Amino acid sequence: RKEVEQDPGPFNVPEGATVAFNCTYSNSASQSFFWYRQDCRKEPKLLMSVYSSGNEDGRFTAQLNRASQYISLLIRDSKLSDSATYLCVVLGGYQKVTFGTGTKLQVIP
């Protein structure tokens, strides 16, 4: 089993739709979690951290389920500009940073 797994997609959704991605992780001792956004041929950029109680930033909501070992990202009212690849990142023990391979989102007019 991979340490961090994501559905690669692509998720093709119409503008205005709500879309959700999950990311599962195998190490129950993982400590910190993040979602990054990566546009084609660009560097990954931090989208948001994921807190145990769940957190929201505008149209984006991140949640953590430690019991089932997954994190999720919900995007409401999708915009064309949301089209990108979304990477989940899991921080484990000493210096252990694990990236998922990413979920590709394409928002369609």
Partner 1 sequence: NAGVTQTPKFQVLKTGQSMTLQCAQDMNHEYMSWYRQDPGMGLRLIHYSVGAGITDQGEVPNGYNVSRSTTEDFPLRLLSAAPSQTSVYFCASRSSLNQPQHFGDGTRLSIL
Residues that bind partner 1 (CB under 8 A): 31-32, 34, 36, 41-46, 49, 87, 89, 91, 94-95, 97, 99-102
Distance in Å, CB of 15 to partner 1, minimum:
27
Least Å from the CB of residue 22 to partner 1:
16
Of 17, 14, 21, 15, the closest CA to residue 101 belongs to 21
Q: What is the token pair recorded at 57?
A: 């930033």
Q: Pick between residue 78 and residue 89 the one whose CB is nearest to partner 1.
A: 89
Smaller CB separation from partner 1, 9 or 17: 9
- In the complex with partner 1, which residue's Cβ is closer, 19 or 48? 48
Residue 17 beta carbon to partner 1: minimum distance, rounded to whole angstroms = 26
What's the min distance (Å) between Cβ of 68 and partner 1?
Answer: 22
Enter the DSSP assignment of 81: G
- Please, what is the end-to-end C-alpha distance for the chain in angstroms? 37
Closer to partner 1 by CB, 24 or 100: give it.
Answer: 100
Compute CA distances 97 → 3, 4, 33, 77, 91, whole Å. Answer: 10, 10, 10, 31, 5
**CA nearest 40: which of 98, 96, 85, 90?**
85
